């Protein structure tokens, strides 16, 4: 593990509890010696375990144990050879030992149970967070699909085919555009962009400078899709794809790869 991080976040907590086997413990010790990030995580886990240990309920001995202990102290004060000391020492020691033999394991078991429940709760919290993120992604995809269906069904929606320009990479793309709704959807397939380059989609308005509609993520032969809301009141004259520096530009600077006029 010296070259890679522990794959289970709870390993740090289990290490702090002393619940890992010898090989797992050795692997983490070796790794944190050279990894500041994991060393910090281990220190945080050890801090959590210390806090939980203090959170265990205090166990008060019974009044009988206290009385026996006090009699033992008085007997000791009379001297090691006193008769009272001999009489009180044996039962006091025996009673106290029996009480602590019961109370200490109970307190330890309760503290361990508290820690294990906390670890389980942490795991459930992480799973719930992942589930919420998945639901949000699915809801977003569903919303995009709904907009796509509405866009395609509208009578005033236009489909603009983009034609490959001379000397440029072969590709196929189209833009579904609705001026009234202020929505557009790109659907196309392009070869991978050259190193340090990106394809960028532009809306060419009737007036003014081209408006960036986003940088396209391309995979050779695999169609890509993108939907976006257009600025209010903008009417498109054409759509174009240019080749720009990686990450795109505020205005087109590279050659036009595909162009399509809005009829």
Helix (H, G, I), strand (E, B) or coil at 118: helix
Q: What is the pLDDT of residue 33?
A: 84
Closest alpha carbon to 239 in 177, 188, 191, 147: 177
Task: Read off the pTM.
Answer: 0.48
Residue 191: which residues within 8 A CB-CB, separation 6 or more?
169, 170, 171, 218, 220
Phi first, then psi, for residue 9 (nearest 5°) are -60, -30
Q: Tokens for 212? A: 């960036």
SS (HEC) of 125-171: HHHHHHHHHHHHHHHHHHHHHHHHHHHHHCCCCEEEEEEECCCCCCC
Q: What is the pLDDT of residue 199?
A: 93
Q: What is the pLDDT of residue 17?
A: 73
Could you report the average pLDDT of every consecutive run of 10 residues in the chain (263 residues)? 64 77 84 83 75 57 59 58 47 53 59 70 75 79 70 81 91 90 88 91 93 84 78 90 94 95 90
DSSP string, 27-48: HHHHHHTT-HHHHHHHHHHHHH
Phi first, then psi, for residue 183 (nearest 5°) are -130, 150
Q: What is the largest CA-CA distance in the chain?
A: 116
Q: How far apart are CA 16 and CA 2, in angstroms?
A: 18
């Amino acid at each position: 593990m010296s070259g890679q991080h522990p794959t289970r976040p709870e390993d740090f907590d289990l290490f702090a509890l002393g619940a890992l086997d010898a090989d797992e413990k050795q692997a983490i010790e070796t790794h944190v010696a050279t990894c500041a990030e994991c060393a910090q995580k281990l220190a945080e886990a050890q801090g959590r375990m210390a806090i939980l240990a203090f959170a265990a309920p205090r166990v008060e001995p019974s009044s009988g144990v206290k009385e026996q202990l006090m009699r033992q102290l008085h007997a000791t004060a009379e001297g090691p050879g006193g008769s009272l000391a001999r009489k009180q020492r044996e039962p006091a020691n025996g009673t106290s030992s029996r009480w602590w033999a019961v109370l200490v394991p109970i307190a330890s078991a309760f503290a361990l149970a508290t820690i294990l429940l906390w670890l389980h709760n942490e795991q459930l919290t992480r799973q719930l967070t992942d589930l919420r993120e998945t639901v949000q992604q699915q809801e977003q995809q569903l919303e995009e699909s709904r907009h796509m269906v509405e866009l395609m069904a509208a009578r005033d929606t236009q489909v603009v085919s983009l034609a490959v320009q001379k000397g440029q990479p072969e590709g196929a793309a189209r833009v579904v555009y609705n001026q009234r709704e202020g929505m557009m959807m790109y659907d196309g397939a392009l070869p991978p962009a050259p190193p340090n380059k990106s394809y960028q989609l532009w809306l060419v308005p009737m007036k003014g400078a081209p408006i960036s509609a986003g940088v396209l993520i391309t995979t050779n032969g695999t169609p890509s899709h993108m939907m976006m809301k257009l600025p209010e009141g903008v009417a498109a004259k054409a759509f174009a794809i240019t080749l720009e520096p990686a990450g795109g530009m505020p205005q087109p600077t590279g050659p036009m790869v595909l162009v399509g006029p809005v009829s």
